[in-house]
Structure 1
Amino acid sequence: MKPIMFLCLVVAATGMDTNHGVHLSKSQKEKADHYIMDCIKQTGVHADVLSDAKKGHFADDEALKKFTHCFFQKSGVVDHAGHLNVDAALSKLPEGIDRNEATKLLEECKKRTGKDAAETAFEIFKCYSKGTKTHILL
């Protein structure tokens, strides 16, 4: 699987099959690709786990949790403890995302926690990806 195909898992939205979506800008795609490559190397997450997550099936996989935390931390969306920075997350969303809807959802998802930073970031990600109406498309 090409790393860029997993881009939808990151930047606080998923690429699940949907008719409601927006595309990232070229510069957003380039940054995300760089972060994705780094985080795959750091975490050793398997391609099939990433592929399933892209489809909305989130495995209870430690490497996937670490990948999510790695990517979100590199992009400035979460801190080292996995706590969400709503303003940073909003600033990373591409044009076409309803900011009011995203803000409400992010504020709700920010309350999610896990046993550690990686699980907390993963819970936030799952919350947002399941709750958003507009997904990021490639």
Structure 2
Amino acid sequence: MTPFLFLCLVMAVAGRDAHNVQLSQAQKEKVHQYTAQCVKETGVKTDVLAEAKKGHFADDEALKKFTLCFFQKSGIVDSTGKLNVEAALSKLPQGVNKADATKLLEECKKKTGKDAADTAFEVFKCYSRGTKQHILA
């Protein structure tokens, strides 16, 4: 399993009552590109990414930096790690319930950390734990 499935831009983790949605081919290509760049830039280990994809979030500085890197390249957080809800919504694939996503993103936007990477990671964990949709890449 490749680590790009971990973030898939919308920060989704499967739940018991989840339903699946597909990324477009263009979205898949961007995910691959950003993942490769951010893995190289941060040195995050693929096993840490694989565990995060399963919903097990290690308190790992490289994982936090990866999250910030990926989200910045995606345009959904700024340099401080603050979430841009509108930008995040615009990146969601078809099939995602936008009203539910908006409500959850607005709640997760309030999360903060000790620095930009920690803040982006807290936002990611919040959304991942709150969503019922699983993104298939």
The alignment's TM-score, normalised by the length of structure 2, stands at 0.94
Aligned residues: 136
The alignment's TM-score, normalised by the length of structure 1, stands at 0.93
The aligned runs of 1:1-138 (5 Å cut-off) are 1-3=1-3, 6-16=4-14, 19-138=18-137
User: Which has the bigger relative contact order, CA under 8 A and spacing at least 6?
Assistant: 2
Post-superposition offset of 1:12: 2.3
Q: Is the 8 A contact 1:90 1:99 kept in 2?
A: yes
The 2-side partners of 1:106 and 1:17 are apart by 17
Superposed CA RMSD in Å reads 1.4
Q: Is the 8 A contact 1:69 1:121 kept in 2?
A: yes
Post-superposition offset of 1:17: 6.3
Post-superposition offset of 1:13: 2.2
Which runs of 4 or more aligned residues in structure 1 lie more than 3 Å from their structure 2 counterparts after TM superposition?
15-19
Gaps of 5+ in 2: none
Gaps of 5+ in 1: none
Q: Among the aligned pairs, what percent are the same residue?
A: 66
The 2-side partners of 1:41 and 1:57 are apart by 22
The 1-side partners of 2:49 and 2:85 are apart by 24
Matched position secondary structure for 1:136: strand
Q: What are the superposed Cα offsets for residues 106-138 of structure 1, whole Å, 9 maximum, x if unpaired?
A: 000000000000000000000001001112123
Post-superposition offset of 1:11: 1.0
